[in-house]
Structure 1
Amino acid sequence: MAMMASSFAASALPLKTIPGSYGPPVIGPLKDRLDYFWFQGPETFFRHRATNHKSTVFRTNIPPTFPFFRRVDPRVIAVVDCAAFRALFDLTLVEKKDVLVGDFMPSTSFTGDMRVVVYMDPSEQKHAAGKGFCLDLLKRSAGLWESEFLSSADVMLTVIERDLTASSSGSAGFLQPLQKCLFAFLCKSIARTDPAASPEVGECGFLMLDKWLSLQLLPTVSIGVLQPLEEIFLHSFAYPFALVKGDYQKLYSFMDKEAQEVIRIAGEGFGLTKEEAIHNILFVLGFNAFGGFSVFLPGLITTLGRDKTGLQDRLRAEVRGVLAGGRALGFETVREMELVRSTVQEVLRLNPPVYLQFGRARRDFVLNSHETAYQVMKGELLCGYQTLAMRDPMVFDDPEAFVADRFVGEKGRRLLDYLYWSNGPETGQPTTANKQCAAKDYVVATACMLVAEIVRRYDDFRCDDSALSITKLEKAKEGTEAQAASVEAGRPGSR
């Protein structure tokens, strides 16, 4: 017992045993898997167990489980409060090697038989080169990022306007135009490539990424098909790369031919081989950027389009006020839009694009929650469910409600230290020594530009209450159209 006690740092909080259990082999993980995917869903799964154990830290199993096909250890220590969640960013306490989606790791055949940087721990030699390459690409693309996004967003909104006018149902879906917009602008900004250089990639590249990403994550997510078919066919085994090999090879060949500039930077500046550069570019493009935006931005759009509290009017007044006099919409001007930024951050708080964060204990340590401390043993896997952690009632007032101006003002800015969507606090900065999202600031600024462009362009914008579709687009009135034209003329990349 003396040896056990000495391996843990002292804590001023009362030390308790972590509640919960994993149940009997096979049966316990299977029951938790069915609860997670079928009977409860992820949010109820974690909420129910936290309530039952009267603890925001508890033991449970987390999918996927492949008891008959592949060895994956589903046992985790779940963390659902802001205080304990911070341990997942402390790399003196946890290791991030191969735990992007828990103990399960998709086959490296999806990434050229190599581990890309997001699966590496910062202690690994190649992590600094890979993360440094990503940070450098973003720094070089800052100006291009603005103009390419706004240009692609203009195409997207024009397509939606056309589809809505032609629709007999009075609605137009926005997911496909949005994904096409994202794919085009991300290729141009990150990889310095124009998808139009390849007709097939230009037209279907976003679908290729969708399939490539989906096959890797299918065992870990629910897609809402008829149960028990989903459990039998989607969650019982890992899907083989062979199903998307042809599409991935087309994307690889496209980058090999068109992305010579960034491949050169990867080699000369960071010592990466051509293969390492391309596979990392494709992963960052497909998983981090395209995948993350495809999850986050639809929720932002529908939050805006379904609001009945007058938020659009407040956002419109702020945006048009900042852009008055023909100022260009871009990174600089959205920094002045405090309500727009807070709205984006509130959507990230309630619906983070990646809702699970993992870390494996490097050593025995004491995990501090708000009022209790727990002993964690070396090698145990921590699983933070940030959808609940960022609704912590000890940190956020009325935590379940959407409050657009939650992060406005001095008090609101202090709360940013508890906004964790980027694998680190919003007040943190991504570096080669941590695992925080390299594009953290670009994501928020891009989302702000989308909100600003919508309310600048339209006097009314409405979404269907039950689907990813737009039902009303009322263009800016004459007096505002002149202002909008002036803004358009001053926009980066305008002609």
Structure 2
Amino acid sequence: MFRTTMASSLSFNAGGLPVLPLPGSYGPPLLGPLKDRLDYFWFQGSETFFRQRAATYKSTVFRTNMPPTFPFLTKKIDPRVIAVVDCAAFPALFDLSLVEKRDVLIGDFMPSTDFTGGMRVMVYMDPSEQKHNAGKAFCLDLLKRRARIWVSEFLLSTDVMLTTIEKELSGSDTRCAGLLVPLQKCIFSFLCKSLAGADPATCPEIADCGFAMLDKWLSLQILPTTSIGVLQPLEEIFLHSFAYPFALVKGNYQKLYDFLEKEGGEVIGMATSEYSLTKEGAIHNLLFILGFNAFGGFSVFLPTLITTLGRDTTGLQGRLRAEVRRVLARGRQLGFDTVKEMELVQSTVHEVLRMNPPVFLQYGRARKDFLLSSHEASFQVRTGELLCGYQKLAMRDPKVFDDPETFNPDRYMGEKGRRLLDYLYWSNGPQTATPSTANKQCAAKDYVVFTACLLVAEIVRRYDDFRCDGSSLSVTKLEKAAASAVPGPS
């Protein structure tokens, strides 16, 4: 697997693995980072970028540059990282005794704090920072308290979305209805009500355009680090060469802020009275959680989930439909308890998360010198070096997952399948771990999986068949499987 020319200089760690020099190169100054940036964004794309380097260096841990380099910015951004693309080395990114998470949410680049009211919000903080613990504790408690309305609010919003799509289908000769806008409106309304206790319906502008305001605010922060597939070299010149100013979304952000301040009083009061957050800090953190973590994540993941089911030709839809209707027989309702009985639904959601995690890059900066171990070797990491884990390859590690490039909805079923959840790293930690103030795992990890299960279950409960091509939904046989009333929480 590794070059035999290194053998004479090998040492071994406590686990018996050879300690090898880190393969890879950053290339010459300026030209090396520029080449890697163009490969990542233009010539190869992110997945091929990591695959080819892992193959070239014959290692799942290697040195490379990560974009952006921002040649027109005065602030120096260091693109050099140690890439990690296997399940063995990946957990180091979650070990806070080895790495810190201060200001590395999207790598060495951090958007201006103007986007968050001039303050560093909790998700950019390391758990060693006192303000992080207060913010994370608030999030965990908020989710616990709002759990009682989570199911009913999601199903109500989903019913509005599907009814909107059905009306569009009823007047369409092509039997095809747009999916993305109704879905984003559904996600936005649901999250505002379930997390912030703020109903967008109280403000017509927020109800109609709030999701777009949030989407634009989020997009301007991550555009320099994201490929959107527009014509090159226009994307490189106009999207990846400089950071966009907050002024472009300042007015919309203020409207969202005012909306939460007015309608989310109960939640904001909880943050200030019980967790010592300032009113401004509570609103800015809540907006970031709502927009960046929740809305952003769901807006990527749920369309992928729907498309995966809508394009299926293996009979998965029928199997899911049979499971859901069996569990919901005799008038039982969708909720936490009934979803627990839907093993295939849960396994399907987990497999979509494995194949297409909503966030596919994880970062951590070394707190100290340590040995980073892959399956076959260990590598010396020095204090201050930035680790970059690419989840889309790590979650396809052939030493952990059988036939890893194939979508297998049964993968996580049974005792053997459930053990694989230890290696499902989509949420800044293993699926089997518990979010706490002492780690950076997504506070709503289990709510994301549960919500996705609710969506799958509601679609197959409601329709006998559906097809989706990614941007639109077509129903080839629109027959309600049950009464159209939206079920409440169980």
Measure the CA separation in 1 of the matches of 2:109 and 2:37.
14
Match of 1:471 in 2: 474
Match of 1:5 in 2: none
Match of 2:63 in 1: 59
Match of 2:170 in 1: 165
* Cα shift readout 1:452-489 (whole Å, capped 9, x = no counterpart): 0000000001113xx41112252346xx43xx45xx47
Write the mapping of 1:65-464 to structure 2, written as runs, cut at 5 A: 65-69=69-73, 70-464=75-469
Amino acid at match of 1:57: V
* Cα shift readout 1:271-309 (whole Å, capped 9, x = no counterpart): 000011000000000000000000000000000000000
Aligned in 2, Cα 1:420/1:339: closer, same or farther, shift over 3 Å?
same
Aligned in 2, Cα 1:429/1:473: closer, same or farther, shift over 3 Å?
farther
Q: 1:268, CA displacement in angstroms?
A: 1.1
Measure the CA separation in 2 of the matches of 1:269 and 1:331.
28
* Cα shift readout 1:197-226 (whole Å, capped 9, x = no counterpart): 111111100000010000000001111110
Aligned in 2, Cα 1:10/1:208: closer, same or farther, shift over 3 Å?
same
Whether 1:24 and 2:28 are equivalent positions in the alignment is: yes
Number of aligned residue pairs: 478
What is the identity percentage for the equivalent residue pairs of Structure 1 and Structure 2?
74
Q: 1:103, CA displacement in angstroms?
A: 0.3
Measure the CA separation in 1 of the matches of 2:486 and 2:263.
31
Amino acid at match of 1:239: Y
Q: 1:343, CA displacement in angstroms?
A: 0.2
Kindly indicate whether the alpha-carbon contact (under 8 Å) linking 1:417 and 1:427 is maintained by their aligned counterparts in 2. yes
Q: 1:408, CA displacement in angstroms?
A: 0.3
Q: 1:10, CA displacement in angstroms?
A: 4.1
Kindly indicate whether the alpha-carbon contact (under 8 Å) linking 1:43 and 1:387 is maintained by their aligned counterparts in 2. yes
Measure the CA separation in 2 of the matches of 1:243 and 1:26.
30
Match of 2:5 in 1: none
Q: 1:490, CA displacement in angstroms?
A: 5.1
When the two chains are superposed, the root-mean-square deviation of aligned CA atoms in Å is: 1.3
Kindly indicate whether the alpha-carbon contact (under 8 Å) linking 1:161 and 1:473 is maintained by their aligned counterparts in 2. no
Kindly indicate whether the alpha-carbon contact (under 8 Å) linking 1:458 and 1:473 is maintained by their aligned counterparts in 2. no
Kindly indicate whether the alpha-carbon contact (under 8 Å) linking 1:187 and 1:193 is maintained by their aligned counterparts in 2. yes
* Cα shift readout 1:118-141 (whole Å, capped 9, x = no counterpart): 000000010110001111110011
Q: 1:164, CA displacement in angstroms?
A: 1.8
Q: 1:166, CA displacement in angstroms?
A: 1.9
Question: Which of 47, 51, 60 pairs up with 2:51?
Answer: 47
Q: 1:165, CA displacement in angstroms?
A: 2.1
Kindly indicate whether the alpha-carbon contact (under 8 Å) linking 1:62 and 1:74 is maintained by their aligned counterparts in 2. yes
Q: Please give the secondary structure, in 2, of the residue aligned with 1:226.
A: coil
Match of 2:488 in 1: 491
Q: 1:167, CA displacement in angstroms?
A: 2.4
Kindly indicate whether the alpha-carbon contact (under 8 Å) linking 2:19 and 2:379 is maintained by their aligned counterparts in 1. yes
Kindly indicate whether the alpha-carbon contact (under 8 Å) linking 1:17 and 1:375 is maintained by their aligned counterparts in 2. yes
Amino acid at match of 1:48: Q
Q: 1:169, CA displacement in angstroms?
A: 3.4
Measure the CA separation in 2 of the matches of 1:379 and 1:167.
58
Q: Please give the secondary structure, in 1, of the residue aligned with 2:167.
A: helix
Q: 1:332, CA displacement in angstroms?
A: 1.5
What TM-score does the superposition give when structure 2 sets the normalisation length? 0.96
Measure the CA separation in 1 of the matches of 2:271 and 2:243.
32
Measure the CA separation in 1 of the matches of 2:429 and 2:200.
32
Measure the CA separation in 1 of the matches of 2:165 and 2:397.
38
Measure the CA separation in 2 of the matches of 1:384 and 1:301.
26
Aligned in 2, Cα 1:460/1:489: closer, same or farther, shift over 3 Å?
closer
Give unpaired runs (5+ residues) of structure 1: 1-7
Measure the CA separation in 1 of the matches of 2:488 and 2:258.
34
Match of 1:3 in 2: none
Measure the CA separation in 1 of the matches of 2:214 and 2:489.
28
Q: Please give the secondary structure, in 1, of the residue aligned with 2:464.
A: strand
Q: Please give the secondary structure, in 1, of the residue aligned with 2:443.
A: coil
Measure the CA separation in 2 of the matches of 1:26 and 1:332.
56
Question: Which of 18, 28, 41 pairs up with 1:37?
Answer: 41
Amino acid at match of 2:165: I
Q: Please give the secondary structure, in 2, of the residue aligned with 1:451.
A: helix
Amino acid at match of 1:82: C
Q: 1:492, CA displacement in angstroms?
A: 3.3
Amino acid at match of 1:146: V
* Cα shift readout 1:389-446 (whole Å, capped 9, x = no counterpart): 0000000000000000100000000000000000000000000000000000000000
Q: 1:252, CA displacement in angstroms?
A: 0.6
